Amino acid sequence: MASSGPSKACCTVPPAKVEDYSPKGKYIKLSDGMECYATGPSSATTAIFVVYDIFGFSPQGIQGADILAHADDGSHQYRVFVPDFFYGKPMDHANYPPDTPEKQKKLGDFFAGPAAPKPTAEKVPALVKDILGLAEGKGVTKWGALGQCWGGKEVHPAMVDANDAKAIKIPYAMLASKDEDAKLVKEFGDALTGPKYLETFGDQIHGWMAARADLKQDRVRQEYERGYKTLLEFYHEHL
């Protein structure tokens, strides 16, 4: 059961253009100068660590973080943190789709540099510790996580490989789009041994919950909101 690698959609669908969104949270500085978006009630003791897609701090992604942090059902509260792994230099929207040799080179260089998966993943424990040492992280005792494509296999995942799922014992949700390989998504789900939830949003494109979401379209906004509601229900049950 081999990984699909980055999906075709991941490397071809451009980010959507949206109206400016006014964030509910604030941007804080971590110890190495990395900026981090922080949102949610300071009284919350549970936090969600979000790893965005290659377009960085998109309005759709920031709005999604706010939904997770401010859709309190009365008994569940979350603080949400979105570190800027790209230090203000995400993938340029102008390079999508990468339909010229020049754009393809820029994409390859980006994945070999700031978006290289292994060194990025290695930063996470230190970033969590750093956040806990700040006023915004004070009192947090429990963490959940959310990855979007490049950021992980939770929302419109890339590089879906059932072998990765075998080591996962914690509760795990995966929301796929119509552009992910259905067979690989099923194999990944079948290999999960802990509590799980998998759903394919069959009329949505790769990236519909992040930078590629055209929220001016009613159906896209509906499924964007339903996606975050689905995540919240999963967090409510397992965090």
185, 239 contact by CB (below 8 A): no
Gap between the Cα atoms of 16 and 215, Å rounded: 8
State pTM to two decimals.
0.93
Q: What CATH number does the domain containing 56 carry? A: 3.40.50.1820
Residue 5 token pair: 């690698």
Terminal CA-CA length for the chain? 31
Residue 15 lies inside a defined structural domain of this protein: no
Residue 21 lies inside a defined structural domain of this protein: no
The domain in which residue 231 lies consists of 26-238
Residue 107 lies inside a defined structural domain of this protein: yes
pLDDT at 49: 98
pLDDT at 13: 61
pLDDT at 164: 94
Beta bridge mates, 13: none
DSSP code, position 95: G
Residue 20 lies inside a defined structural domain of this protein: no
- Residue 231: name the closest of 86, 120, 80, 14 by CA: 80
Q: CB neighbours (10 Å) of residue 221?
A: 14
Number of domains in the chain: 1
Residue 94 lies inside a defined structural domain of this protein: yes
pLDDT at 21: 85
Residue 195 token pair: 């509590």
- The identity of residue 212, as a single letter, is R
Residue 84 lies inside a defined structural domain of this protein: yes
Omega cis (within 30) before 59: no
pLDDT at 4: 47
Residue 5 lies inside a defined structural domain of this protein: no
Residue 189 lies inside a defined structural domain of this protein: yes
pLDDT in tens, the chain (239 residues): 344 455 666 666 666 667 778 999 999 999 889 999 999 999 999 999 999 999 999 999 999 999 999 987 778 999 999 999 999 999 998 998 899 999 999 999 999 998 998 999 999 999 999 999 999 999 999 999 999 999 999 999 988 999 999 999 999 999 999 999 999 999 999 999 999 999 999 999 999 999 999 999 999 999 999 999 999 999 999 99
pLDDT at 11: 67
